[in-house]
Amino acid sequence: MGAIPSEVAQRAVALREQIAYHNHRYYVLDAPEIPDVEYDRLFRDLQELEAQYPSLVTADSPTQRVGGRVLERFAPVRHALPMLSIRTETDSGPAGARNFDARVRRELGLLDDAPPVEYAAELKFDGLAINLRYDRGVLVQAATRGDGETGEDVTQNVRTVGSVPLRLRGVEAPVLEVRGEIYMRRDAFDRLNARQREAGEKTFVNPRNVAAGSIRQLDPAIAARRPLSFFAYGLGAVQGWSVPSTHSAILDALQAAGLPVCGERAVVQGADGLVAFHERIAAQRDALPFDIDGVVYKVNELALQQRLGFVTREPKWAVAHKYPAQEQLTVVRAIDIQVGRTGKLTPVAKLEPVFVGGVTVTNATLHNEDEVRRKDVRVGDTVIVRRAGDVIPEVVGVMLERRPADAGAPFDLHGQLHGRCPECGSAIAREEGAADWHCSGGLYCPAQRKNAILHFAGRRAMDIEGLGEKLVDQLVDGGLVHDVADLYALQAGQFAALERMGEKSAQNLIDAIDQSRGTTLARFLFALGIPEVGEATAAALAAYFGTLEVLQQAAADYGRALAQSDDETAAARARRLKDQTLQQVPDVGPEVAERIASFFAEPHNLTVIARLRDAGVEWPEVKVERGAQPLAGKTFVLTGTLESLSRDQAKEKLQALGAKVAGSVSKKTDYVVAGAEAGSKLAKAEELGVPVLDEEALERLIQDSKFKIQD
């Protein structure tokens, strides 16, 4: 091909500079200036130019980040300067920092009254150490630490890391080697594992393992799919680059050249400064977006570093001051099942006690049955346990090579419990495709008792004013209330005997309980706490079925339809279930229908409901004919103060006619009902052109809708 036109060459240079600039903004500064679609356009333009003129391709071209042939093995790289490790201070308390400072002062021959030594303090990243070699500012090689003398050439893989610049800004030195850490952010790790789960592939144990494993993949395309990051923290060999006089200034210079340098670093004075830095980072360790296992202290002045020198190939002028380990190995002795306040069943590993994250851990969550099976955790296994700060300890992986011959069978939650809740004996259920098993005895189960009572008494449910969390704790812990029906048998004297309760307060509670006996079917259904049944769904069920008995019959029919075990396809099964009456209710899909069926299939729940009816809980007959929903598909938003009825009453009337009442205004809102002192929601409606009704117009709409039903 002939000579490249000058305007084409200039365009290629400009595109490379633009893309490099935006890469730095995106990957290093986390402050992108252009949308992804515009970045993609620039990238495609450069690809097209390089495809048309192959000689335009340069080593620092952004198009060279992804791709490359699959290697048979990694070539060895002899480091120009050894990549030495640094000494670890095992005392994780303040004494660790003070011991290091005392050694430095002793080696320098400083008297007690001499000024404090200046240190550069930074984070000890939990990733893979890497050496980047730049020739004339262009990345030409990346190598792992290896044994310190010889590493492996992983240039193809490191090129895929977006935060590693392919060309440095303002650097023309013949050689500049930059040392740092390849790591993976926690949010990127979580997204990667989510993709693995969706694809049915194995999940990874921790970000460090993924980072190290990705860089050592022989196929660079695999590394390109892993969201890796990089931080620079030092120098290797240097030729023709003016090295600053302090370590902190070196990091500043590297940052100015376009390399990512962690902002959590400081220049401190003496032992007190080191201790303060260690404690500050410890306090924010769990909030950092990436994992660390300690901090690093370095004498800041390079001249002092040279005076101190090395011992056994470790620098005397630097030390790693670690924190308590967040991961340890231990053995699973049993797998128990715990029932949460909402009825969720969580498998918990009972462990051989192990000190991790600063405390002794004997239990660790396994999240749910799918996670246990995915990780293949069995009784007798040696496992990796992780605890970060106040986070509940969890089992993150299994050491399969240590599995004993007599290890337990693969985990089966339903089989282990024989299909029954370990707290109350109610049936357990799990919707198709869901991760969690739940106890279906929500009104009866002791583990769910307090949660069920608080929900039942809530303002939008049975509205028992004054029955709060502390009072419920006393009633349950004192053995006075075992389920919600027991509330209606309480006497004023029993309340008065409780802590911080006088006779007047006790009588007020009795009056509130008595008043709650008269309710609506919608409120009662919501108060039952059926999973996935909120206010709107409860109102739709009440309006559609009219009576509790008809709803219970529809739930029983749906349960029988679920239990059919023929060989039909998933699509055929879905069509058959959709024909069931329960799924004819607006906003009731298969998951909600299954929860309703499970709830009403549990005899314990039916017993509590019967006792509530016997205690006088009742509601007026629902006048709307089943299936008549004149406002179905319409979305209303209420704002301001209404005069003739409360917003809750207006909401119930609209829901009884099939309307959905939302909390915010959007383009999908059909009407906004505005009372006195309406605020931002009214302004939003006017901005979007949503029709606004006053209280009189709302009442006319409700009456017209009722008239249509009666006709």
Range scoring the smallest mean pLDDT among 102-106, 230-234, 368-372, 572-576: 572-576
Same structural domain, 394 and 500: no
Q: What is the pLDDT of residue 628?
A: 57
79 part of a folded domain = no
Same structural domain, 658 and 602: no
pLDDT tens for each residue of 474-532 = 999 999 999 999 999 999 999 988 888 888 999 999 999 999 999 999 999 999 999 88
Write down which residue in 322, 352, 372 finishes a domain: 322
CA distance 332 to 317: 42
Q: What is the pLDDT of residue 71?
A: 58
CA distance 151 to 159: 17
CA distance 492 to 504: 9
> Active-site residue 344, yes or no?
no
Whether the CB-CB separation of 92 and 321 falls below 8 Å is answered with yes
Judged by DSSP in three states, 502 sits in: coil
Tell me whether residue 610 is exposed, middle or buried, using C-beta atoms within 10 angstroms of its C-beta: 0 to 12, 13 to 18, 19 or more. Answer: exposed
Same structural domain, 317 and 332: no
567 part of a folded domain = yes
Q: What is the pLDDT of residue 577?
A: 85
Write down which residue in 273, 305, 322 finishes a domain: 322
Same structural domain, 144 and 280: yes
Q: What is the pLDDT of residue 389?
A: 65
655 lies in which domain range? 635-710
In this predicted structure, the answer to whether residue 87 has a pLDDT above a threshold of 70 is yes
Whether the CB-CB separation of 705 and 626 falls below 8 Å is answered with no
Same structural domain, 161 and 238: yes
**Which H or E run contains 124?**
strand 118-125
Spell out the residues 6+ positions from residue 384 whose beta carbon is closer than 8 angstroms to its own: 205, 206, 327, 328, 329, 395, 396, 397, 398, 399
Same structural domain, 50 and 108: no
Same structural domain, 397 and 468: no
Same structural domain, 37 and 174: no
Same structural domain, 315 and 347: no
Hey, what are 157's tokens? 């893989």
Q: Average pLDDT over the chain, rounded to whole?
A: 88
Whether the CB-CB separation of 383 and 354 falls below 8 Å is answered with no
Whether the CB-CB separation of 504 and 415 falls below 8 Å is answered with no
CA distance 484 to 292: 49
In 270-358, DSSP assigns E strands to 292-299, 310-311, 314-315, 318-322, 327-339, 344-356
Same structural domain, 205 and 294: yes
Whether the CB-CB separation of 262 and 231 falls below 8 Å is answered with yes
Q: What is the pLDDT of residue 451?
A: 93
Of the chain, the percentage scoring pLDDT greater than 70 comes to: 95
CATH number of the domain enclosing 100: 3.30.470.30
DSSP string, 43-58: HHHHHHHHHH-GGG--
Whether the CB-CB separation of 184 and 211 falls below 8 Å is answered with yes
Tell me whether residue 242 is exposed, middle or buried, using C-beta atoms within 10 angstroms of its C-beta: 0 to 12, 13 to 18, 19 or more. Answer: exposed
304 part of a folded domain = yes
Whether the CB-CB separation of 131 and 79 falls below 8 Å is answered with yes
Domains contained in the chain, number: 5
CA distance 618 to 382: 57
Question: From residue 460, how far is each of 11, 117, 193, 536, 646 by CA, in Å?
Answer: 65, 65, 39, 11, 12
Same structural domain, 141 and 254: yes
Q: What is the mean pLDDT of residues 50-61?
A: 83
- Phi, psi values for residue 236, rounded to 5°: -110, -130
Which one is catalytic: 124, 298, 322, 653?
Answer: 124
43 part of a folded domain = yes
CA distance 198 to 182: 26
CATH number of the domain enclosing 657: 3.40.50.10190
pLDDT tens for each residue of 295-348 = 999 999 999 999 999 887 789 999 999 888 788 899 999 999 999 988 999 999
Secondary structure in 3-state letters for 450-472: HHHHHHHHCCCCCCCCCCCHHHH
Secondary structure in 3-state letters for 523-575: HHHHHCCCCCCCHHHHHHHHHHHCCHHHHHHHHHHHHHHHHCCCCCCHHHHHH
625 part of a folded domain = no
16 part of a folded domain = yes
Report the predicted TM-score, pTM, of the whole model to 2 decimal places. Answer: 0.59
In this predicted structure, the answer to whether residue 32 has a pLDDT above a threshold of 60 is yes
Same structural domain, 180 and 286: yes
Whether the CB-CB separation of 78 and 149 falls below 8 Å is answered with yes
